[in-house]
Amino acid sequence: MNDQEFFNWYNFEATPEEKTVVGKMGMFEELFSDMIFSNGTKTGEFLKCYTKSADSEEDNWIESETDIPPEMEYFSPTNYRIRVEPLPDGIGQFNSLTKEMTITPEHINSDSVILHEMIHMYEDMIESQMPFYRDIIFFVLYKDLQQRIPDLDKYITDHGQVFNQQAFNRIGGVHDILFLMKSLDLDLKQGYKLGTVFGYGMVETLNQ
């Protein structure tokens, strides 16, 4: 949705439950600043470069930042339509084709569920950009988590098995290694037990 579409939906169509989810997503946006290369993030450091000053005939180089695509710079979860309604399977769902996120009514206050679906949103946006952006996010998350989770490689190896990936795809869409790492990053930021965001609060998903 563009800004006008969001305004119309939020003010004239959204239910109180859907507005609750939107409010929570707004509070959580800062947790995803690394995925849009914001200033002050480790991914944002990759935007730094040096350019020659146009005001001098000498070889004066000044530090500046490379521009990123507007779809990334101005990204917001409100680009997607939020629905609160029962689901035949599961408690949350993200549809990249219709650009919709659905949460079941009983989970509108489940932060881990909302964060899980927000990862899908940000990954969906990243997938529409040049692949090097995704590579940078992957690299930065890995280096950071490696220092905070001693057995990170085991998490990744177990999760990355093709058999597991095929099973995840059958039950509920793409949950790739980048998704896993961002979910672990959110667990640490929120003070959750590892696996909470990935597993909708069911940490046994990661075989702890």
Distance of CA 51 to the CA centre of its chain: 31
Is pTM beyond 0.85? Reply is yes
Instruction: Using a pLDDT cut of 90, give the percent of the chain over it.
Output: 69
Token pair for residue 158? 């177990």
Alpha carbon distance 72, 77 (integer Å):
11
The Cα–Cα gap between 4 and 2 comes to 6
134-178 pLDDT tens trace? 999 999 999 999 999 999 999 999 887 887 777 766 666 678 999
